[in-house]
Amino acid sequence: MGGGSSKEMADTFVVKPQSQHKSTLIFLHGLGDTGQGWSMSFEQLKLQNIKCICPTAPIQPVTLNAGFRMPSWFDIASLSPDADEDAEGIKKASDALKELIASEEKLVSSENIYVGGFSQGGAVALYTAFTIDKPLAGVIGLSTWMPLHKQFDPQAVKMNRDIPVFQAHGTLDPLVPKLWGDITGELLKKITVKHTYKTYPIMHSSCQEEMDDVKSFLESLAKD
């Protein structure tokens, strides 16, 4: 994604629904991870009508890690809230996610496609949901933040206002502090009244309770 094309992604892992395919979740992993682990987590949820697509980011150098190459959706210079952001990389990653959405529209309408992600992947999902020019089913953001928030005007969002959003964060997160989640939550409230924000006593990770809540969120919105 950092290269701007979904064709440049590495392995993509797909979890088929337990029964008839009616909607799709495209979920992006965090920095240095792959889609495989998240696909295993979604497989355990046994979603009835929702297919899950978990792509893997391309390998590229990350400034935060002294230029070490790893799976990354965009570059990160620092974990400081005042650090410069990789605006070009974020927008290219978002464009590639939009390509994935367009490809999945061959099977289901965009109104039946959810986007989501963990940490860096969640940032791409949030940015995409509110800059795309087509309606989506909902958004999931775990341990994440709204990127380019200084440039982001909630009042300028035209598409996907009042879209259902499930946001979650660990209260003990040392990498993406809960404060970032709180600030992101306040911004999201200015876009949608269908915003759910839950916290868990975990660090920069997920837990079974959180995943159960993700399942409940998805299945409550699944169309018959």
pLDDT in tens, 135-162: 999 999 999 999 998 777 787 888 899 8
Which residues are annotated as catalytic?
A: 119, 173, 204
212, two tokens: 């159960």
What is the pLDDT confidence band of residue 1, given thresholds at 50, 70 and 90? very low
Confidence class for position 223, pLDDT limits 50, 70, 90: low
User: Is 7 in contact with 100 (CB distance < 8 Å)?
Assistant: no
In the predicted model, what is the mean pLDDT of residues 1-13?
Answer: 54
Residue 166 structure tokens:
């499930």
Look at the pTM and tell me if it is higher than 0.85.
yes
Please report the pLDDT score of residue 8 as a whole number.
Answer: 44
CATH of 6-221, one of 3.40.50.1000, 3.10.20.740, 3.40.50.1820, 3.20.20.60: 3.40.50.1820
- Helices and strands of the chain, counted as H and E runs: 5, 9
3-state secondary structure of 166: strand
The distance from CA 8 to its chain's CA centroid, rounded to whole angstroms, is 18
CA distance 51 to 150: 34
Confidence (pLDDT) at 149: 81
What digits encode the pLDDT tens for the residues 162-220?
899 999 999 999 999 999 999 999 999 999 999 999 999 999 999 999 999 999 999 99
The domain limits of the chain are 6-221
Cβ atoms of residues 60 and 69 within 8 Å:
yes
DSSP state of 37: H
From the list 113, 111, 189, 176, the residue with the least C-alpha distance to 147 is: 176
Query: Which position has the higher pLDDT, 65 or 110?
Result: 110
Contact indicator for 131, 148 with CB cutoff of 8 Å: no
